Homo-oligomer: A and B are copies of this chain.
Amino acid sequence: MTDLDRLAVLEAKDEIRELTAKYCFAVAEGDAAGIIDLFCTDGVFSMRDREWAGQQGLRALYDGAAAGVTPKPYIQNHIIEVNGDDATGRCGVEIRMVNKGQAITVAGHYFDTYRKVDGRWRFARRDFKIFHWVPLSEGWA
């Protein structure tokens, strides 16, 4: 790699880390349009055995089930591999939710693919692997 390429890789990783931060902010604010704007137009979110694909699918998720539990996600421990305008990543996440009047605590990992479209990095795909999704009062044992 040239020195310029090395600089570009660091910049790409920096932007992708901020992409996941913006995701946390938009989710915490229940801003479905803002979340969807962070995805490619053919972006996909998957969880357990379900998948939400494209603008319409993602809107169904982020305006519907996800909004109902008012999630506050906190993302950490991010590794990213950049290959030109494509990248893959993995990061940890802890989420505070509310469901039927109960505090819920969630922990897991996102397995991501990213794509640079029109000069901006976006989520191509987010696969959410859940460790546990439990009432805070019961805990994760």
Query: Chain A interface (Cβ within 8 Å of chain B)?
Result: 3-4, 6-7, 10-11, 13-14, 18, 20-22, 24-25, 28, 72, 74-80, 90-92, 94, 96, 98, 101-103, 107, 109, 131-132, 136-141
Contacts and interface: CB of A to CB of B under 8 A. Distances in A.
Contacts of A101: 141
Nearest to A23: B77
Number of copies: 3
Contacts of A18: 78-80
Contact of A74 (B79, B80, B92, B132): B92
A42 to B, nearest CB: 25
Contacts of A94: 74, 94
B72 A75 contact: no
Given A91-B21, A92-B24, A103 B3 contact: no
A72 B131 contact: yes
A81 to B, nearest CB: 10
Contact of A10 (B4, B10, B136): B10
Given A14-B13, A74-B76, A96 B20 contact: no
Nearest to A138: B103
Contacts of A91: 21
A137 B25 CA distance: 26
